[in-house]
A and B are shown apart, each in its own frame.
Chain A
Amino acid sequence: MTDHDTIPVLAHDLVKRFGDFVAVDHINLEARAGEVVGFLGPNGSGKSTTIRMLCGLLRPSAGQALVAGFDVARKPEQVRRRIGYMSQKFSLYNDLQVIENIRFFAGMYDVPASVLHERTEWVLYMAGLVGRESTITGTLPGGWKQRLALGCAVLHRPSILFLDEPTSGVDPISRRRFWELIHAMAAEGVTVLVTTHYMDEAEYCNRLVLIFQGRIVASGSPTELKQQAMAGELLLIECDRLGPALDLLQQVPDARHVALFGKALHVVVPDAQTGIPRLRAVLSAHGIAVSRIEPIRASLEDVFVSLTAQLSGQRT
C-alpha cells in the first residue's frame, strides 16, 4: 500500500514546547511498512503530543517529521490524505446513526462512490454492526463504538494508522478483537503507531518505544526490552508482612527495583543463585516467614517500572 522507497514514518529530532515546558524532547523515530510500533510511557510523557505532531495536528517546535514522505509541518494536507487517526476520546458523533457516521467520514475522506458501498459494508462487518446501521451511535456499547471509530478512521484505506490510547475504557474481549483487526491491517502493510497504558497490549506490538519526560529512553521488541532493561535477574518473593519486608529489602545493597506486585514482591538481583539465600536470610532474621522465593521472567510492567524508577533518580 505504501510506496516502496519511502519510510512511512520518519521523525528527526522532533521537539514540541508549550511555553517553557518541553513536552517532546528531540525524538527520533522510524517505522516501516507493516510494523506495529507501540508508544509506552506514563501520563504526560509526551506520547500523545508526538502522535499529534505526526498527524499534523500540532506544529513541531523544532525538528522534522516525514509521514508518507511528506513533511508534516509543510504539507499537512498531503499527510492527512494518507493517514488514519483515532484518539482516546471517542470521536464519532453520538447523535448520528451508525450509517450516518460512516457516510460522513467517507465524505470527509473523499472515498470514491464506486467503492463506498463495499467500504461501508466492510466497516459494518468489521465492527459487528451489520443490521444495526440505523442505531444511534451514542447508544452502542463501548467496544462497538470503538471498532466503529476505527472503521471510520480507515475508510479511505490509509497506509499509516495513528492510534492514541484507542482501547481506554474498553473491556478485555473487545480489546483483543480490536488488536486482531490491527494485526490484520498490519499484515496488509499498514504501519501502525499506537500509544497505550496497557502492558498486555504492548506485547502485541512488533516494537516498543518507551517515552519518559519527552525522551525515548528505550526501544526494541518486547523481548529485547525485557532482556536489556532488567540487567540482572528478577525474583518473586511471597511472604507475610509485605510492608516491613519491602522496607527491609530496600536496605539490601544488591537488591534493586523492589516493588509490590499484588500479594508478592519483585526484586532484581545480579544473580539468582547467590541472591535467593541472601534475601531469605535477611527476611528470616527479622522474623518474616518466606513461603516462596524464585526467579521469574520479567513482564513488560517490570521493565516499565524499573526504567521509569531509574530515570526518576530514585533507587528503589
Chain B
Amino acid sequence: MLRRLHEMLVKEFIQVFRDTRTRTLLFVPPIIQMLIFGYAATLEVRHIPIAVLDYDNSQVSRELLSRFTASPYFDVRTYLSDRREIGDLIDRGEVTVALQINGGFAQDLGKGQTARLQVIVDSSNSNTALIAVSYINQIAARFAQEFQRTQLLRTSPFAPSQMPSIVFERRPLFNVNFDSQWFFVPGVIGNLILVMVVSLTAFAIVREREIGTLEQIMVTPIGRLEFILGKTVPFFLIGLFDTALVSLVGTFWFGVPFRGSIGVLAIGSILFILCMLGIGLFISTISRTQQQAMVSGFFFNMPAISFSGFGTPIGSMPEWLQTLTYLNPLRHFLEVLRGVYLKGVRLDVLWPQMVAMGLLGSIMLAISVARFQKSLD
C-alpha cells in the first residue's frame, strides 16, 4: 500500500516540478492575481467623473461647486454652459453625474428659501449611483449647514451655541480607517485557493483519463484510495503552500494586519483545501475531457464565489439563499480568514466554521471517492 502511494507521489511531484512552465504556473499567477485583485477588488467609489452646469454663476454657487472639486470622491471633468450637453456626456459614459444649479440659487438661499440642486445620475450601475448620490447629499447638507451658520453669525453672533444638532462620533473596530483592501485581501486569498485547488485536482485526473494513462493504472493492482491519495496529496501540499504565499503578499504588500494566530489559519486552510479537493475530485468523476472539467469547474467556482460574502454581503441576500450559503465552504473560510486577519479571533469563536468545513469536506470527499470507480463504465 505505502509503496504504491510512494511511487504515485514521486511520479506526481516529478511531473509537477520537472516542467518549468508548470512549476511557474503553480506559484506565479497566484501572486500576480493577488496583486491585481488586491488593488481592483474594492467596493469604494472614488473619482466619480462629474460635469457641472452653473446657470446661477454666483459666489455661492461657485463655492458649492468648489466642494466637489476638492472632494476625493469626485473628479469634475467639464464645465458646461448648456443643459443639452448633459445627455450626450452620460450616454457616452464620460461622466456618471451631472450637477445643475439653476439661476436664482444664491438668491433663494439668501432669502432663506429652499434652493434646488439638480442631480442627473447614470444609474446603470445602481451601486455606484447610490453611493454617488449619498456623497452629493453629504456635501450639499454640510454646505447648507455651514451656510446657515454663517448667516446666523452675521445676524446674531451668539446664536450658534443655541442651535440643536446631533454629532455622531464613530468608533470603528478592527478596520479603523475603513480601508476596503483590508476587507478584500483576505477574501481574495480564499478565492485564489478555491480556483487553484479545484482546477488542479480536476485537471490532473481528467488529463490522465484523456491521454490513456488512467486506463493503464486501472489494470494494475493499485487500490482506489491509493490512487486518489496519490493524486490529491500533492495538490493539498501545493494548496497549503499557495495559501502561505498569498497570505504573505496580503500582509507584507498590502499591509493587511494579521492579528490572529497562524495555527487557526492553518487549521482553517487545511479544512478548506480538503473541501476543494473533494470538489475537484467530484468534477473529475463527471468529466471525460479537460474541456468538460473546465466548464464544470466554472459552474462551481462562480456561484461559490458569488455566494460566499466575498463582495455582496450575505446579509443582503434573500433569506433562503442565506441558508444555502451555509453549504458553501468558501463562506466559512472567508469568515475564518477575516476573523483571523482583522479581528484576531480564535477557535472559541471560529469553531462553528471549522466544524462546518470539516463536515462539508468529509461529505464531499466521501461522495467523490465512492463515485470514483476503478473501471471505465
A176 within 8 Å of B (CB atoms): no
Assess whether A180 is interfacial by the CB under 8 Å rule: no
- In the complex the two chains form, is A80's CB within 8 Å of B211's CB? no
B42 CB to closest chain A CB (Å) equals: 41
B213 near A91 with CB under 8 A, answer: yes
Interface string of B198-215 (1 = CB under 8 A from A): 000000000000011101
Q: Separation in Å of the B21 CB from the closest CB of chain A?
A: 11
Q: By CB atoms of chain A within 10 A, which of B211, B221, B374, B377 has the most?
A: B221
Q: Given A58-B375, A108-B220, do A95 and B15 touch, yes or no (CB 8 Å)?
A: yes
Q: Mark B333-377, 1 if CB is under 8 A from A, else 0.
A: 000000000000000000000000000000000000000001111
Counting CB contacts under 8 A, is A179 at the interface? no
Q: Are B215 and A87 in contact (CB under 8 A)?
A: yes
- Chain A residue contacts of B219, Cβ below 8 A: 55-57, 80, 83, 85
CA A107 to CA B10, docked complex, whole Å: 11
Contact A90 B4 (CB under 8 A): no
B288, CB-defined interface residue at 8 Å: no
Q: Cα distance A2–B216 when bound, in Å?
A: 23
A301 shortest CB reach to chain B, Å: 29
Q: Contacts A80-B221, A95-B15, A104-B11 hold; do A89 and B212 have CB atoms under 8 A apart?
A: yes
**In contact, A77 and B221 (Cβ under 8 angstroms):** yes
Report yes or no: B216 in contact with A57, Cβ–Cβ below 8 A: no
Can you spell out 17 A-B residue pairs with CB atoms less than 8 angstroms apart? A52-B376, A57-B215, A57-B375, A57-B376, A76-B374, A77-B223, A80-B221, A85-B216, A86-B216, A87-B216, A90-B212, A94-B211, A95-B14, A95-B19, A104-B11, A107-B4, A107-B7
CA distance A172 to B209 in the complex (A): 29
A91: chain B residues within 8 A (beta carbon): 211-213, 215-216
Q: State the 9 A-B residue pairs at the shortest beta-carbon distance, nearest first.
A: A107-B7, A89-B212, A91-B216, A108-B220, A85-B219, A91-B212, A80-B221, A81-B221, A104-B11
A100 proximity list for chain B (CB < 8 A): 11, 14
For the complex, give the distance between the alpha carbons of A270 and B144 in Å.
115
Instruction: Return chain B residues, CB-CB under 8 Å to A76.
Output: 374-375
What residues of chain B lie closer than 8 Å to A104, measured between beta carbons? Answer: 7, 10-11
CA distance A103 to B11 in the complex (A): 9
Q: Mark A70-112, 1 if CB is under 8 A from B, else 0.
A: 0000001100110101110111111110001001110111100
State whether the Cβ of B6 lies closer than 8 Å to any Cβ in chain A: yes
| Nearest chain A residue, comparing its CB with the CB of B212 | A89
Complexed CA–CA distance, A103 and B374 (Å)? 22
Question: Is the CB of B140 closer than 8 A to any CB of chain A?
Answer: no
Nearest CB in chain A: distance from B165 CB, A? 73
Task: Please report the C-alpha to C-alpha distance between residue A100 and residue B15 in the assembled complex, in whole angstroms.
Answer: 11
Within 8 A of B (CB), among A13-53: 18, 52
| New A-B pairs, 6, CB < 8 Å, besides A76-B374, A103-B7 | A57-B375, A58-B377, A81-B221, A93-B11, A108-B7, A110-B3
- B377 adjacent to A96 (CB under 8 Å): no
Contact B375 A59 (CB under 8 A): yes
CB atoms of A93 and B220 under 8 A apart: no
What is the CA–CA distance of A59 and B373 in the complex, to the nearest angstrom? 11
Least Cβ distance of A290 to chain B in Å? Answer: 50
A95-B18 in contact (CB<8A): yes
| Complexed CA–CA distance, A76 and B223 (Å) | 11
In chain A, what residue has the closest Cβ to B219?
Answer: A85
Q: Flag if A109 contacts B221 (CB, 8 Å).
A: yes
Q: CB-defined interface of B1-42 with A at 8 Å, one 1/0 digit per residue?
A: 001101110110011001100000000000000000000000
Select from chain B the residue with minimum beta-carbon distance to A100.
Answer: B14
Contacts of B14 in A (CB 8 A): 95-96, 100
Judged by a CB distance under 8 angstroms, whether B141 is at the interface is: no
Check if B266 is an interface residue, CB within 8 A of chain A: no
- Chain B residues, Cβ within 8 Å of A85: 216, 219
List the A residue with the shortest CB-CB distance to B6.
A107
**A240-257, CB < 8 A from B:** none
Q: Is B117's beta carbon under 8 Å from chain A?
A: no
Q: Is B217 an interface residue (CB 8 A)?
A: yes
A residues in contact with B6, CB < 8 Å: 107
- Residues of B near A95 (CB, < 8 A) are 14-15, 18-19
Inter-chain CA distance A103–B6, complex, in Å, is 11
Chain B proximity of A304: nearest CB distance (Å): 27
Known contacts A58-B375, A83-B219, A92 near B213 by CB under 8 Å: yes
Q: Which of B15, B223, B374, B375 contacts A93 (CB 8 A)?
A: B15
Q: Which residue of B lies closest to A90 (CB)?
A: B212
- A98-133 vs B, CB cutoff 8 Å, 1 = contact: the mask equals 001001110111100000000000000000000000
The chain B residue with its CB closest to the CB of A96 is B14
Residues of A within 8 A of B374 (CB): 76
**B252, chain A: closest CB distance, angstroms:** 35
CB of B218 closer than 8 Å to a CB of A: yes
Q: Which of A56, A83, A90, A96 contacts B11 (CB 8 A)?
A: A96
> Nearest Cβ in chain B — how far from A149, in angstroms?
8
A186 to B70, CA, bound (A): 91
A105 touches B220 (CB 8 A): yes
Q: Are A108 and B376 in contact (CB under 8 A)?
A: no
User: How far apart are B297's CB and chain A's nearest CB, in angstroms?
Assistant: 23
Tell me, rounded to whole Å, the shortest Cβ–Cβ distance linking A183 to chain B.
23
